[in-house]
Structure 1
Amino acid sequence: MNKQTIDYIVREQDLITQDLSTYLKRHEKKEMLRLLVAGSVDDGKSTLIGRLLYDSHLIYRDHLESIYQDSKVFNTTENEIDLSLLTDGLRAEREQGITIDVAYRYFSTEKKSFIICDAPGHEQYTRNMATGASHCEMALILIDARNGVQAQTRRHSLIATIMGIQNIVVVINKMDLVDYSKSVFQQICEEYLDFSTKMSTSSIDFVPISALTGENVVTKAERMSWYTGEPLLSFLENVKLTGESNLTGFRFPVQYVIRPNSDFRGYAGSVASGVVHEGDEIVVLPSGKHTRIKDLKTYDGYRSKAFPGMPVVLTIENEIDISRGTILAKPDNLPTVTNKFDATIVWMDDEPLKCNNEYLLKCNTQCVPVRIKSIYYKYNINELTQIKADELSLNDIGKVELLSQRPLTCDSFTDNKEMGAFILIS
């Protein structure tokens, strides 16, 4: 690349200027894919994201000019533009050449819209990576073709599956540095598949690329003719995810009680899962009392039904004690109400988690005090085996038993991510 490439602008800039309404209509109903990009330090995550944006012509000219100048200052790619600077925004990141914070980037193609989460690779910032993974539907696990599968590769893969990501794409980067070797690619695939049998995933795919040169990122690579699959961007545009939203078990965590006057009482929140209709019978938990939906209101007016992710205000037919943290469900598919449960923990605090430690557990809108009753085991990241443990240290992953002071309404994380995920607050 040379400085002349600075002159290009976003592919659809003219349409935005001339007919904004048409542009918005073209994009508003596109399928959205939330991607986590993870891997070890220097595997090329930020460069890959920059390459996707650059080769898709989705960078504004002034932004690209700024990156070109910064590339000269930091001198990371000699006379070439350093595409990793598009996502490494903190000054400390640019000076050290690593990603520290989670960076989010949005871009859209003709077929699909994407939100990309660029997660830090350094072990010290694993907690940031776990936070990013909790919001994503697919993980791109980058591997440096020269180094193969590393401990951080295993850790990130395990955390991604623990956070409910069932679709993993292993992107083997820097193929230009191993002479585009098919045997190196196959060896890494076999190594990854060998340990991935111990994880819970629905699909694992492999794509060889060079983010630096752009080969097999947006267009097919002539020097990897042995690879018969799609380039990475085409694969992402056409992939069909497994593990769709839960549309069967209705769950509505009450966030706020709206009481503007004595004539109205509504319960605001977002539908966590399932679908609810006007007139449906519901159960109020943990009390177990029954009532029916009177109506559903949104910012745009009344609705006959509400679905996952939809913010809505519900009104009910009976006067029942409902407050923040109450869960509404349907009687034919009820969550568990318990004060004793097991959980897999990704520990992110400098102070170790130990038996009898007390924390505040936050699950959707519920907040309850809990105590660690026992620690069953923690994972050996290199082998994904379970080993005995008396505590969980920073970045450890393990299984524990918890006791709550008040009943917690929840589901298995496997069955319902929104109702099975929580955080512990010291």
Structure 2
Amino acid sequence: MTTQDQDPIYKTDALIAEDIDAYLETHQHKTMLRFITCGSVDDGKSTLIGRLLYDSKMIFEDQLATLEADSKKSGTQGEGIDFALLVDGLAAEREQGITIDVAYRFFTTEKRKFIVADTPGHEQYTRNMVTGASTADLAVILIDARKGVLTQTKRHSYLVHLLGIKNVVLAVNKMDLVDYSQEVFDQIVSDYRAFAASIGIEAFVPIPISGYMGDNITAPSDNTPWYDGVSLLPHLEEVDIESTKEPQAAPFRMPVQWVNRPNLDFRGFSGLIASGVIQPGDPVRVLPSGKTSKVARVVTYDGDRAMAVAGEAVTLTLEDEIDCSRGQVIVAAQSPLEVADQFESTLIWMDEQEMVPGRAYWLKIGTQTVSATVQHPKYEVNVNTQEHLASKTLDLNAIGVANITTDREIPFAPYGENHDLGGFILVDKFTNQTVAAGMINFALRRAQNIHWQATDIAREDHAAMKNQKPAVIWLTGLSGSGKSTIGNIVEKKLARMNRHTFLLDGDNVRHGLNKDLGFTEADRIENIRRVGEVAKLMTDAGLIVITAFISPFRSEREMVRAMMQPGEFVEVFVDTPLEVAEARDVKGLYAKARSGQLKNFTGIDSPYEAPDAPEIRVDTTEMTPEQAADAIIARLIP
């Protein structure tokens, strides 16, 4: 045998392959911990993560060289490394020395894999912190030992508890700047413990650290001989996260992501199991329809399985041909979810534009998207005192409780029981921007006790008796554009054709049904919502409804369109330039608005959002009201 054969440095391809297989086998079965670092500005979150990456040997030599060079440019004294530069990737972050966006980093040790989210400390970026915390198993809340418990520390702790993170580490950072004082550490822990108890955090692990110097990060530090607890990284490696989840012990739930139909011989329902265990033969129920069946097969990428558990992506085939589609939820037959369309929810508002009560938003929960409206908040939460404050709306980063109504019933679980089936986001229908994150607390009792009463005479019967097709002619435009005049002519012409109609005029409705509403944005939305509900009832009665409302917001007009049957809503944009409408000013409203006597007047100090694609556009500078009415009737009755 040669020297090379004996020397372990010289390995054959087979031995190298064995080493690689052994390595992959070891790392394949490591558990994954997702955690966040949060706290106030300059508490050292980015530095701590940089230190963890450095100590876990997750930095390449070229990255280290660049880091050392950048550290000198950033002003770090001596031979020290500015570890925060590893995480602060945006140019704006490096220039300001703060974190703005959520930075995700991956690293691994011999015992566990990690995904860490470095979340911003500024209050204006609280929404980014919520994004990072939404998937976290553990939160490391940093406190600057020189400053103690601050307002943003409390805000982030409240959000951590609100989002259901059970494992909390209180990392008292920058201990090197307070001479590693045990007295300082004990006082901060005592202050935080009092606050944590007030918001419901039952337990946390306090650790004195220095991210910059590396004290108590990977091993006990000689600088804190008075501390005999665990260091940060060993705690992250050993903390038990599965016992706080217990997803397999819960009843079976799987939101359907898509219907898998590769050929006529196979029809399965694919999704990620949110909780529980499933196997062939198990009785299941599809919600919200309530149809029941039994599981025929549990299919995965690797073939059929005898059992699947929470966290696995599977395709289920059922013994019976029942209706099931994306957004519905397959559950254990004997332990169904609740189904409702009205909820009390906790909202974290994430948009710079304040919440508008009554406005319709897209609500995304699980794999389902529905239209939803938010009512006036019951209260807003002061995160510092936990006081419930009266509020008419929610601003950026505000946390409040409000009732939400969806346009149809959805299966759900309270957020405290299941994050996947109780957590949701609200999305603006026109900008597609996420405006809020929410958690369902419970269904309103009213929603569970009120059921739609079926009647024997259907809307088709009402329409047949009148020998016409129901419709809503929705005239929208500026004040003075001629909506009411055109609407009145349309109704007279239809009456001469023996059509059954009803005209809903904006001013007339505000004398009765909506006399309690003003002209704020929220009141305008509620005004249109009520009119839409009345128009819907009238179409159910078989009538042709003509409405004349400014209805300045696209989202509210689309909300009414969604109430109607397909093809029954005809949007008519009475397109009159502002200067023309103002010149008419038969009611003197524009003059009052210009002088400041009328607030929130459309076209002056309140916006009008013109329709993007109306069914009919009427240019009143080119058409007379009679011609406009004829064009509308021609579209309605070809």
Q: 1:233 aligns to what?
A: 233
- CA offset digits 1:375-396 (Å, max 9, x no partner): 1111112222222211111001
Q: Is the Cα contact below 8 Å between 2:119 and 2:128 reproduced in 1?
A: yes
Q: TM-score, normalised by structure 2?
A: 0.63
Q: 1:411 aligns to what?
A: 413
Query: What is the distance in 1 between the residues matched to 2:221 and 2:316?
Result: 54
Q: 2:220 aligns to what?
A: 220
Indicate whether 1:27 and 2:27 are aligned.
yes
Q: 2:203 aligns to what?
A: 203
How far residue 308 of structure 1 moved from its aligned partner, in angstroms, is 1.3
Query: What is the distance in 2 between the residues matched to 1:373 and 1:118?
Result: 34
Q: 1:69 aligns to what?
A: 69
Q: Is the Cα contact below 8 Å between 1:167 and 1:201 reproduced in 2?
A: no
- SS at structure 2 position matched to 1:127: helix
Decide whether aligned partners of structure 1 residues 206 and 52 sit closer, same or farther in structure 2, where only a CA change above 3 A counts: same
Please say which structure displays the higher CA radius of gyration.
2
Query: What is the distance in 2 between the residues matched to 1:37 and 1:357?
Result: 35
Residue type matched to 1:151 in 2?
A: T
Q: 1:371 aligns to what?
A: 373
What are the within-5 Å matches in structure 2 for residues 53-132 of structure 1? 53-77=53-77, 79-132=79-132
Decide whether aligned partners of structure 1 residues 194 and 401 sit closer, same or farther in structure 2, where only a CA change above 3 A counts: same
Decide whether aligned partners of structure 1 residues 16 and 359 sit closer, same or farther in structure 2, where only a CA change above 3 A counts: farther
- CA offset digits 1:59-88 (Å, max 9, x no partner): 221221121122223224554221111111
Q: 1:384 aligns to what?
A: 386
Greater Cα offset, 351-360 or 278-287:
351-360
Q: 2:146 aligns to what?
A: 146
How far residue 354 of structure 1 moved from its aligned partner, in angstroms, is 3.5
The structure with higher relative contact order (CA 8 Å, sep 6+) is 1
Decide whether aligned partners of structure 1 residues 293 and 77 sit closer, same or farther in structure 2, where only a CA change above 3 A counts: farther
Query: What is the distance in 1 between the residues matched to 2:76 and 2:349?
Result: 34
Q: 1:243 aligns to what?
A: 244
Match 2:353 to one of 351, 354, 357: 351
Q: 2:302 aligns to what?
A: 300
Q: 1:11 aligns to what?
A: none
Q: Is the Cα contact below 8 Å between 2:38 and 2:156 reproduced in 1?
A: yes
What are the within-5 Å matches in structure 2 for residues 42-61 of structure 1? 42-61=42-61
Query: What is the distance in 1 between the residues matched to 2:94 and 2:21?
Result: 38
Query: What is the distance in 2 between the residues matched to 1:177 and 1:16?
Result: 48
Greater Cα offset, 281-290 or 156-165:
156-165
Q: 1:180 aligns to what?
A: 180
How far residue 56 of structure 1 moved from its aligned partner, in angstroms, is 2.5
Query: What is the distance in 1 between the residues matched to 2:414 and 2:119?
Result: 26
- CA offset digits 1:23-81 (Å, max 9, x no partner): 11111111221111111111000100111121232322122112112222322455422
Q: Is the Cα contact below 8 Å between 1:374 and 1:402 reproduced in 2?
A: no
Query: What is the distance in 1 between the residues matched to 2:77 and 2:347?
Result: 40
Query: What is the distance in 2 between the residues matched to 1:407 and 1:78?
Result: 63
Match 1:311 to one of 306, 310, 313: 313
Query: What is the distance in 1 between the residues matched to 2:203 and 2:53?
Result: 26
Greater Cα offset, 222-231 or 350-359:
350-359
- SS at structure 1 position matched to 2:185: helix
Match 1:402 to one of 401, 404, 410: 404
How far residue 222 of structure 1 moved from its aligned partner, in angstroms, is 1.3
Q: Is the Cα contact below 8 Å between 2:361 and 2:427 reproduced in 1?
A: yes
- SS at structure 2 position matched to 1:190: helix
- SS at structure 1 position matched to 2:210: coil
Query: What is the distance in 2 between the residues matched to 1:207 and 1:318?
Result: 56
Query: What is the distance in 1 between the residues matched to 2:85 and 2:366?
Result: 35
Query: What is the distance in 2 between the residues matched to 1:54 and 1:297?
Result: 42
Q: Is the Cα contact below 8 Å between 1:195 and 1:384 reproduced in 2?
A: no
Decide whether aligned partners of structure 1 residues 274 and 202 sit closer, same or farther in structure 2, where only a CA change above 3 A counts: farther
Residue type matched to 1:160 in 2?
A: V
Identify, as 1 or 2, the structure richer in strand: 1
- CA offset digits 1:289-330 (Å, max 9, x no partner): 100111011111111122112111111111111111011001
Structure 1: runs of 5 or more not aligned: 1-14
- SS at structure 2 position matched to 1:362: strand
Query: What is the distance in 2 between the residues matched to 1:203 and 1:399?
Result: 26
Q: 2:268 aligns to what?
A: 266
Decide whether aligned partners of structure 1 residues 312 and 77 sit closer, same or farther in structure 2, where only a CA change above 3 A counts: farther
Query: What is the distance in 2 between the residues matched to 1:78 and 1:308?
Result: 51
Residue type matched to 2:232 in 1?
A: L
- CA offset digits 1:181-236 (Å, max 9, x no partner): 11111111111111111323353110010111111111211121111101111222
Say what the alpha-carbon RMSD is for the aligned residues: 1.6
Query: What is the distance in 1 between the residues matched to 2:362 and 2:370?
Result: 6
- SS at structure 1 position matched to 2:353: coil
Query: What is the distance in 2 between the residues matched to 1:77 and 1:186?
Result: 30
Query: What is the distance in 2 between the residues matched to 1:379 and 1:298?
Result: 45
Q: Is the Cα contact below 8 Å between 2:253 and 2:273 reproduced in 1?
A: yes
Query: What is the distance in 1 between the residues matched to 2:184 and 2:217?
Result: 18
How far residue 369 of structure 1 moved from its aligned partner, in angstroms, is 0.8
Query: What is the distance in 1 between the residues matched to 2:373 and 2:340?
Result: 14
- CA offset digits 1:336-389 (Å, max 9, x no partner): 100011111111011112421221110011111111123111111222222221
Query: What is the distance in 1 between the residues matched to 2:209 and 2:40?
Result: 16
Query: What is the distance in 2 between the residues matched to 1:329 and 1:137?
Result: 25
Aligned sequence identity (%): 47
Q: 1:361 aligns to what?
A: 363
Query: What is the distance in 2 between the residues matched to 1:154 and 1:261?
Result: 55
Structure 2: runs of 5 or more not aligned: 1-14, 429-638
Decide whether aligned partners of structure 1 residues 249 and 69 sit closer, same or farther in structure 2, where only a CA change above 3 A counts: same
Q: Is the Cα contact below 8 Å between 1:273 and 1:418 reproduced in 2?
A: no
Query: What is the distance in 2 between the residues matched to 1:68 and 1:52?
Result: 16
Q: Is the Cα contact below 8 Å between 2:348 and 2:400 reproduced in 1?
A: yes
- SS at structure 2 position matched to 1:375: coil
Query: What is the distance in 2 between the residues matched to 1:213 and 1:408?
Result: 52
Q: Is the Cα contact below 8 Å between 1:165 and 1:201 reproduced in 2?
A: no
Q: 2:452 aligns to what?
A: none
Residue type matched to 1:281 in 2?
A: P
Residue type matched to 2:414 in 1?
A: S
Residue type matched to 1:63 in 2?
A: Q
Q: 2:289 aligns to what?
A: 287
